[in-house]
């Protein structure tokens, strides 16, 4: 999670600028959910899993199309549940 208001504002500005450059300016981004998703995947799998997980969740949500407004939440929930289940496994399993 961002550690300060300034960091969060920088993240929001970056998101708006990138969305504009990618020609998706009306995209509503749930930063808290994405940061939690990245944190859990990094903690459960490996640090490098965070960006890969975010990409795959975004891809899955995008492939469902704009008619599925909850698709990002649903895809994120699948990923978070999988991270949680892997994080609960005993070493060696």
- pLDDT per residue as tens digits for the range 46-60: 999 999 999 999 999
Q: Is residue 93 part of a domain?
A: no
Helices 5-21 and 31-44, axial angle in degrees (round to 10):
100
User: Into how many domains does the chain fold?
Assistant: 1
Q: Is residue 92 part of a domain?
A: no
Q: Is residue 78 part of a domain?
A: yes
Q: pLDDT tier at 91 (50, 70, 90 boundaries)?
A: low
Entry pTM:
0.78
Instruction: List own/partner pairs for 47-56 with CB under 8 A and 24 or more apart.
Output: 53/79, 53/83
Q: Is residue 81 part of a domain?
A: yes
Residues of the domain holding 53: 5-87
End-to-end CA distance of the chain: 30
């Amino acid at each position: 999670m961002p550690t300060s208001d300034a960091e969060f504002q920088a993240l929001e500005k970056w998101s708006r600028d990138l969305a504009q450059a990618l020609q998706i300016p009306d995209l509503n981004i749930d930063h808290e959910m994405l940061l939690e998703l990245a944190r859990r995947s990094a903690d459960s799998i490996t640090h490098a899993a965070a960006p890969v997980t975010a990409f795959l969740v975004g891809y899955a949500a995008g492939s469902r199309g704009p008619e599925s407004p909850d698709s990002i939440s649903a895809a994120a929930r699948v990923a978070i549940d999988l991270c949680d289940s892997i994080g609960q496994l005993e070493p060696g399993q």
